[in-house]
Structure 1
């Protein structure tokens, strides 16, 4: 009878224990869903790059122009009375032009006609004996021009010239007398060389019109370039300044590099709006023009798609902790919360201490800072923590969940891959540079995209936007001028 009584007592105790809240209880987390709100996006700091525009001119073009317009009689002095000498100078053959050692060298074959007058009077009462004779000879004048630029895009040349007599100097034979004419002719020729060099400077500056080439390139690079039809992707270049390297004259060419300081960006879903700026900035001469560019690329993951990925990564998973504590995630969602991401997790958790089991059900909300992980090419999160309302609820009803490693586990699980999307964009740009880089019949865009470097994360009202910079080089080749 006593044994029966004891068994009944145990049964009665267990029955009573099972209906007490302290033995087995469930807490519903009636947390308020935070409003989804993206903070005003920080101003996107574009990276300044340099687009190289190599330009070259063959000196044969300049030579042809000079020979077309620089010909015939160059100098004519028929007055014998002032110095007893008359001189005429013709261009005898083609002007030769050579580009070496960063200078342009000219050779000008000349034909000289000189007439000398001889007057002699034995005495005041004697008649004046007068005779004149003419002679002709050839020589080659030589000059060299140093090249530079002005800030208004004009070529500045400084030409100096000289000549040297050959083995035989010009003379006049007047009867038994031979009069050396070199000392009479040289001043006139040297004076004429000064005029010749001025003419050369004018011709060079008129023929080497670099401004028209730069103006053309300046306008053409501002036109957005379509790089992909599927995503309706475009490349946009916004030039801000122009630098030019010193002119180099070598191997029959005058060459230089123009560096356009530019912002380079990619856009999807349509041609970006633009307004071409026709005004060229002042030209800056710079011997150190970099050849690297940074192209602003962006990859987006909508919150709907991020939610889908989050569910795939977390829904149905059970996280176990020390003892018998565990939490199962039934559903998940993601939304913006200022400059952070808000993670909603619909959880079912329990903890047990002896005979006592405590359950929690409902939604918990965590905030996290998104970042782009360059190694994996994915958007991940850090500094995951409960929002204030969720933390207060947990501390009052399930402090064990607030204090365990649940937040760290969630942080390690979240991964939104962008690598393929960014790699596709990179390939699209490279393909455009390889195949579709002609922005004008005479202007070709060429280059190579190399590394991708993370920049920043922006939370828009509809998506997580990762901005990265693709490094490489781009040049504008003016190939049909």
Structure 2
């Protein structure tokens, strides 16, 4: 009986001693990160097509805003024996007058004119002139050929007809005398002035270069895509392409394209890389009708560590009563692999160092770590202090929890992009519509400072100008 009590006491002592003992500590050698050098990574340019639709009504409105009241005045009679003043009587109308093979718009200009015509000669140093004054109003119809030159919508306008609302008259002996035949034969004196004025007004209102460069500067300012993950999208245009303008119904169609670098960056708001002086403008015959966007997602290790720490929050690993919890995660790069430092509490206190290579599973849409193992010094220390943690099935359990599906991220990214493709209006009168067909995760590249992920997006974008100001 005494022997039985001694054994029971010994057993109880062992149990109490085991349960009340302090957790094991691990002091592993930290694999130092590679030396910091400038971040360099491969980046494939993106091509975004931007077909633009401009309503002729908008050209009409801007032309009317530029041409008001007295639209032409020539007060010098000595050079060509004529003074002309022309007023716009009513709003100008611009419409498509094209046939299948033409690119022409028709401009209808209601006008009032005052013409002073000098008749006479100089003889023996004496000026023998008579000045006749004509007043008339009517409607001039002009046809303009449309083309895009140096990012301006240029027109070559020709006067087609002149119809009088009332017969032109001149003041003769204090009375208005009809002189329709005389005015009709002398329209050549001022028609070129009217044609030039219309061309200048349209060119001024439809100068795309400054508008396009200004718009590019705006979209080049990085904007936040996710507040939770502190992710930013940065677009850096390098080249702009454009086809010639095409008239269709009551619209002008213009295909444009942008060659750019697209990046998503994690952390604080990055600086813009836009430089208007480096933008190359290129005229082309044809532009593909689809987006090919290659997005580079840059996540530096400090910011990625914060995200992984959130992902590991509450995770517990172990077997039986031997368990640990991860309360902090740090990652860095060494020798073409990723080092993952897990600060743990529980049956083991300290930092456990793992190594692995991040890869992407196209089928499951998951990022996972291949060839994951404990760092050599960590493994040796675990065999001495916590062999249970060094066992393969614990590592496999940790590795299993390191699988991270990005399908949700891709779906959310698609939804975020679509928000800008459903009648989005970045400025008054400009509307963006389109669709995203697919977002593909292409590959991962490790640098000594960041994890670089590469995505490819395909789809369509259309820009409509309606109510341009």
Band the TM-score falls in, shorter-chain normalisation = 0.5 to 0.7
Q: Distance in 2 between matches of 1:224 and 1:305?
A: 24
The Cα shift of 1:49 comes to 2.5
For the Cα contact (< 8 Å) 1:38–1:459, is it kept in 2?
no
Counterpart for residue 458 of structure 2: 471
Matches within 5 A, 1:338-417: 338-340=335-337, 370-379=358-367, 416-417=403-404
Give the secondary structure class of the aligned counterpart of 2:186: helix
For the Cα contact (< 8 Å) 1:234–1:267, is it kept in 2?
yes
Alpha-carbon displacement from aligned partner over 1:125-157 (angstroms, at most 9, x marks no partner): xxxxxxx99998776432211223333x44422
Q: Distance in 1 between matches of 2:372 and 2:86?
A: 92
Q: Based on CA coordinates, which of the two structures has the bigger radius of gyration? A: 1
Counterpart for residue 275 of structure 2: 277
Counterpart for residue 382 of structure 2: none
Counterpart for residue 257 of structure 2: 259
Counterpart for residue 94 of structure 1: 90
The Cα shift of 1:289 comes to 3.3
1:218 and 2:184 matched: no
- What TM-score, normalized to structure 2? 0.56
The Cα shift of 1:239 comes to 1.5
Query: For the structure 1 residues 106 and 77, does the alpha-carbon distance in structure 2 shift closer, same or farther, using more than 3 Å as the test?
Result: farther
Counterpart for residue 161 of structure 2: 163
Matches within 5 A, 1:7-18: none
Counterpart for residue 419 of structure 1: 406
Query: In terms of mean alpha carbon deviation, does 442-451 or 369-378 score higher?
Result: 442-451
The gaps in structure 2 that reach 5 residues or longer are 1-27, 120-130, 171-177, 320-328, 341-353, 377-395
Paired residue total: 366
Q: Distance in 1 between matches of 2:308 and 2:428?
A: 43
Aligned Cα root-mean-square deviation (Å): 5.8
Q: Distance in 1 between matches of 2:369 and 2:115?
A: 92
The Cα shift of 1:190 comes to 2.2
For the Cα contact (< 8 Å) 1:51–1:259, is it kept in 2?
yes
The Cα shift of 1:335 comes to 8.2
Matches within 5 A, 1:308-347: 338-340=335-337
Query: For the structure 1 residues 79 and 136, does the alpha-carbon distance in structure 2 shift closer, same or farther, using more than 3 Å as the test?
Result: farther
Counterpart for residue 104 of structure 2: 103
Counterpart for residue 355 of structure 1: none
- What TM-score, normalized to structure 1? 0.55
Counterpart for residue 59 of structure 1: 59
